[in-house]
Structure 1
Amino acid sequence: MPKKPTKRGFKVWTWCGVSAFVYEMILHHGSPKSISNELALPDRSLKQFGSSGLVVLDLVKDVPVVFAIFIDNYFASTKLIKKLTQLGYRITCTLRSNRTEKCLISTEQEFSKKQRGYYEYFISKDKTCIVVGWKDSKRVLLDSNHAGIEPKTKLKRWDKEKRCRVDIVAPQIINNYNKFMGGVNNMDMLIAFHPIPFKSKRWYSRIIWRILDVMIINSWIIRNSRLCGHNSYSSASHGKFRLFHFKSEIAKFLLTKPNLQIFSTTTVSSSIDVYQSDEENEPPTKTLREARSSVTDVTQYDNSNHWPLFISAPNNTRCKNDNCSGKIYWQCSKCNVHLCLNSSKNCFNEYHTHK
């Protein structure tokens, strides 16, 4: 694709939500000759939708009918809108000038003579869809089967002559498209922020790492939605926990080595001690003191295999919970930090509970 920023590579078609959450992916392998959704086209008439339209019909097979779908002009056509309308979907899309089926809407040259905010619309004979032409900086064509002109809205646009932002009247279909479109672009942006670095001559390695990147971003979106206290995955919740920190926590968790079990030294006869080297007779190195920041958030709050262990040591150790300076013998088996656990204090439970 010569007009894309990355002209060469593997193309993946995705179905994304408003928050950029990826629900389904299809690896592009040339122009499709058929689609997996056989119920969508009983008449086998595939050529009228084009290769890009078949991608949409293949992706919507698992989309509930009550959902509204927003499509880019690369895929959309009036024939595709009519077919999706028959299947019961609500569609809003942008159109290319050669896919309007001879709609009597003004040309781009005629729109260039109009004022900014001017619009035209035509309704199909069966009254199932509407084609809207709107003048922004250039002509914009949109098609929908559930959104129309009313109620009109006002959009802020920059005026070069007045050197300020002015209000421009826009149909309701423009507002809906700008509000809910862009999930795929947001996902591409999030992947480009902190991609997984890799170099390999194996072609399938790129696909595997990209799928892993998408899985991590999906998990990050779900985590931020949980932090907001609601189940809706809105793009406004992306700022609660940065993606860079989320990937760093995953990397720290995967790079954490398991604790080696230290066996107690057995008594050795004096005859063997004679042949031991000086290095073996050296005193053991001093163990590092446990710190509060040595445990990652992923390990601390995963609610899995955290068990209190009683350490029979000659001296007790201070509790590592915040705002606690007690000395105890109890230790977490997974985090390896000392925590209070008695009738008056329960720092063990407080330490592993997300605040």
Structure 2
Amino acid sequence: LKRTSSRSTTTKALNTINSIDTQRANLLKEFGSSGLVILDLVKDVPVGSAIFIDNYFASTKLIKKLTQLGYRITCTLRSNRTEKCPISTEQEFSKKQRGYYESFITKDKTCIVVGWKDSKRVLLGSNHVGIEPKTKLKRWDKEKRCRVDLVAPQIINNYNKFMGGVDSMDMLIAFHPIPFKSKRWYSRIIWRILDVMIINSWIIRNSRLCGDDSYSSASHGKFRLFHFKSEIAKFLLTKPNLQILPTTTVSSSIDVYQSDEENEPPTKKLRGARSSVTDVTRYDNSNHWPLFISALNNTQRKNDNCSGKTYWQCSKCNVHLCLNSSKNCFDEYHTRK
């Protein structure tokens, strides 16, 4: 057996590490730190998969590199990452009609760059989808005040259909953002996290109750994102109905001679106005307890189609409801029909 010294083994390991560092340094110089993130992530992705990339990470160089690795790429691009593609500038696009587009293909036919005029210029790149077949997209026209059809290349429709979760989240947040102004950077993070939590809850709610995982119901449908946020705001603004128990004091001596005021019967209290109860509070199935109200006269109940009177009241909703052997309005009121 040939004997190898520990010094030679260490030297080989160091040479291997140096070669790896040199390769990563070259990749970092060519694709940047953002492009290097994509190259690290696709190592675990099966060859031949379709990948959609945001413009923060994408470039035409990255498209060519991933084409060599065997991946199908569709991405948005920034104007300084197109390798001097002779596409019209954003100022030139602003003079064009909405729906206008341009496209350029590299000499090796591995990458196409498409510029499309929506409200502003949009740059996209791909190695497997291009202009044909053209599609029609619905867009809002401010002058006509209606939705109109715009002709768009197939790459636009393909990217909009399969765009990633980051773009979808940004789109949903932009629909109804939480308005705030603050110079404190951590305040922006907190409000952003709250917005993300609300939208994730809305998506889960739609997927479980409606069986719809798409985001098309953000502006249309039975329960829109705007209504979902409004219900949360109403619930947070509702004051909790906490029952404060009176404190009783025990005196050491009993006063035999009571005043005439104590012997008088209690005066009848006027019933207050009915409090508005949101659907979220009414049907949350939490801490709704029947509370007995000691009054001289029964109070009229608040359930629909019932004119009876009762001593019982919901401790959370502050609504009088029948609760006896013949009627159970308490259960009907808190059950969604």
CA gap of 1:336–1:267, structure 2 versus 1, over 3 A, is same
- Structure with higher helix content: 2
Where 2:131 maps in the other structure, the secondary structure is: coil
Deviation of 1:77 (Å):
0.8
Where 1:36 maps in the other structure, the secondary structure is: helix
Cα deviation 1:192-228 (Å, max 9, x = unaligned): 7876577877542332233223323443455466675
Deviation of 1:232 (Å):
2.8
Cα deviation 1:236-291 (Å, max 9, x = unaligned): 45564566665554345345554454546758769787999999999999767365
Where 2:29 maps in the other structure, the secondary structure is: coil
Number of aligned residues: 320
Cα deviation 1:303-344 (Å, max 9, x = unaligned): 223344555665433332222223234433433323234565
Aligned partners of 2:273 and 2:129: how far apart in 1?
58
| Structure 2: gaps of 5 or more residues | 1-17
Q: Give the TM-score taking structure 2 as reference length.
A: 0.59
CA gap of 1:97–1:201, structure 2 versus 1, over 3 A, is closer
Cα deviation 1:35-70 (Å, max 9, x = unaligned): 999999xxx833332244456678999999999665
The percent identity for this pair of structures is 90
Indicate conservation of the 8 Å contact 1:225/1:234, yes or no.
no
| Structure 1: gaps of 5 or more residues | 1-32
* Greater length-normalized contact order (CA 8 Å, ≥ 6 residues apart): 1
Aligned partners of 1:339 and 1:80: how far apart in 2?
67
CA gap of 1:109–1:295, structure 2 versus 1, over 3 A, is closer
CA gap of 1:258–1:169, structure 2 versus 1, over 3 A, is closer
CA gap of 1:275–1:182, structure 2 versus 1, over 3 A, is farther
Deviates more, 1:316-325 or 1:180-189: 180-189
Deviates more, 1:123-132 or 1:145-154: 123-132
Where 2:157 maps in the other structure, the secondary structure is: helix
Deviates more, 1:336-345 or 1:118-127: 118-127
Aligned partners of 2:231 and 2:95: how far apart in 1?
56
**Counterparts in 2 of 1:257-276, with a 5 A limit?**
257-263=239-245
CA gap of 1:149–1:286, structure 2 versus 1, over 3 A, is farther
Aligned partners of 2:139 and 2:320: how far apart in 1?
59
Indicate conservation of the 8 Å contact 2:77/2:125, yes or no.
yes
1:151 is the counterpart of 2:136: no
Where 2:262 maps in the other structure, the secondary structure is: coil
CA gap of 1:298–1:67, structure 2 versus 1, over 3 A, is farther
The structure with the larger Rg is 2
Question: What's the C-alpha RMSD, in Å, of the aligned pairs?
Answer: 6.6
Deviation of 1:299 (Å):
1.6
Indicate conservation of the 8 Å contact 2:206/2:213, yes or no.
no
Q: Give the TM-score taking structure 1 as reference length.
A: 0.57
Indicate conservation of the 8 Å contact 1:309/1:331, yes or no.
yes
